[in-house]
Each structure stands twice: as structure tokens, then as C-alpha cells.
Amino acid sequence: MSELGDFLRTRRARLTPEEVGLTSYGARRRVPGLRREELAQLAGVSVAYYTRLEQGQSRNASDSVLEAVSRALRLDDDERAHLLHLARPVKRQRAAAPRPETARPATRQLVEALDTVPAAVLDRRTNVLAWNGFGHALLAGHLAFDDRPNLARLLFLDPHTRELYPRWEEEARVAIASLRMVAGENPEDRALAELIGELSMKSREFTALWARHPVRTCTFGVKLLHHPLVGEMELNFENMVLPDDSGQRVLMYSAAPGSAARGGLDLLRAMTAGTADPAASADVRREAVDGG
């Protein structure tokens, strides 16, 4: 099953004839949502042509056809961009083996200088390339400071990280939707494919959510966290994409001055900034997480 076909089928399945102004005569439908024939009618293309597109056999679809299909499926901006990436994948030379990325020294220096803001440098696969002590304490204080975990892997496979998010299901949907966007933009990324394969094998929840083919960019928003040291905090986050072609970004968290969340962040910073040895402070945090 092609990624393009999978995406189009999931989007057909969420629409009904009544929603798009087609007449349904009450006959038993073998598939949920719209049939291929109905979608082709709405898009103004032949059934044979749409079928080839859904089967991944039409790599030269015109802009007008893709736009018509997008409108017929009522795609939002993120979904439309994803459709274009899947329909016209950019061919890149496949690397012989995945190579670990690193953050530029200047980027690491910037993150370290943000000592009043929890911050981390991530690659497009959500690997942590660098973080400051505050960011480490907020996101993964139960790990050693020098660890460089993958945030998606932690979200689905690490019990401490699951407890960090009271709305874990919502967080999981957003994480998968973002990974779907990245996978569509980078179809030749072996390391990303291996991460998705690992999570599919080890997490039934990941597999079920991945099959729904959610798509969404995640550049800013609000997250609810329940930190083991300072309790519940509703934090704003921003993903600042670096101005190069690496796909790396700086993730930062903040809270409004005077808010309870700001007080929680200030307390966490005070609790974790008292030692110059990141490993030692990590031991203190790990003991607190594990109950002493």
C-alpha cells in the first residue's frame, strides 16, 4: 500500500455523500465514507484516472488535478501540503547508513545561554541534539544530562514520559501527525523510517494512530505537563526552525508572568540549578521521580 493511497483512502473515509452534497439512496455501502467514483465525480476527473492516482501509478498529476482532489476531500493547509509531497516525492540520494546529526556549536551556545528558558535542539526525527539544564530538567530529568534521547520514542515507550503528559492521547496524536508531515517531506530518510518501524513494532498505540494518517505541523501551541517535582503546568511552546536545510529546530517553553505555571517553572529552575554537576542533579531528580 502506497503512502499516497493510504492518505487518500483515510480522507475519503471521513466524508459522507450527504456532507459533500451527493445523493445517497440508502444502499448498503461496502466502504466507509466516499467511494472512488464519488470522489472522482467531485474532483471532476475520470474514475480510472483517480484510481491510478490512489494506487500510486500516476506520478505526473497536474496542479489542477491535485488542487481539485484537495478541494473535494476538504483538506486543510497541512493536509494539502502533505498530498503534494506524496504525489510528487523529491528524489534524494539514499545514504548508505543513517548518520547521527549534531547541532552547530553556535546553536548549542545559544541554547545554553537561555538559562531562564527550558530549551532543546531537535532534529527533524525528534532526536535531542542538545539542551540546556532547564530543558533537560523539564523534559527528561530522570535521564542523564548527557543522554540524547528521541522524544517520540520516549513518548510512546518510556513510562516516566507518559506520566509527564496528563493528556497523553492528545500529545501522541500531535506527535504522530508531525512525524507524518516529516515522513512525507523526506521519503528517503532511512533513520526516520527505522524510528517509525521500531515504534510500530513496540507500541500498539503508535500503530493504531499511525494508521489514521493524521497530518499537522507543530510549530507552536500549549502543552499541559504534570512534572514529578513541581506538579501541573500549562506551558506555551515554540519551535524555531533553523535557517538552513537541516530540518533542525529549537524547542522552547514559557509561561505568562504571574501565572501558576510560571511559578512552577521558577521553582523547577531553582531546584535544578543548584549544582554544577549535571549528572549529580540528574541523580537527585531520578530519586524524586522514583519515590526516593
Q: For the chain, percent helix, then strand, then coil, each to nearest 5? A: 50, 10, 40
| Yes or no: domain 3-87 corresponds to CATH 1.10.260.40 | yes
Task: pLDDT band for 27, please (50, 70, 90 cuts).
Answer: low
At 292 the pLDDT is: 44
What is the average pLDDT across 189-195? 93
The grid coordinates of residue 226 equal 504534570
Contact yes or no for 118/265 (Cβ under 8 A): yes
Contact yes or no for 83/66 (Cβ under 8 A): yes
According to CATH, the topology of domain 105-289 is Beta-Lactamase (3.30.450)
Q: How far is CA 126 from CA 92, 148, 218, in A?
A: 21, 10, 12
The model scores a pTM over 0.75: yes
Contact yes or no for 274/281 (Cβ under 8 A): yes
CA 139 – CA 166 distance, rounded (Å)? 14
**Nearest CA among 82, 57, 83 for reference residue 68:** 83
Which of 117-126, 134-143, 169-178, 271-280 is predicted least confidently? Answer: 271-280
CA 150 – CA 135 distance, rounded (Å)? 14
**C-alpha atoms less than 13 angstroms from C-alpha of 277 in its C-beta half-sphere:** 5
Which of helix, strand or coil describes residue 243? Answer: coil
Helix (H) or strand (E) segment spanning residue 81:
helix 77-87
Q: What is the pLDDT of residues 32-67, one digit of tens each?
A: 788 899 899 999 999 998 998 888 777 778 888 899
**Nearest CA among 40, 62, 61 for reference residue 51:** 40
Domain parsing of the chain, residue ranges: 3-87, 105-289
CA 139 – CA 282 distance, rounded (Å)? 12
Report how far apart the first and last C-alpha atoms of the chain are (Å, whole number).
Answer: 49
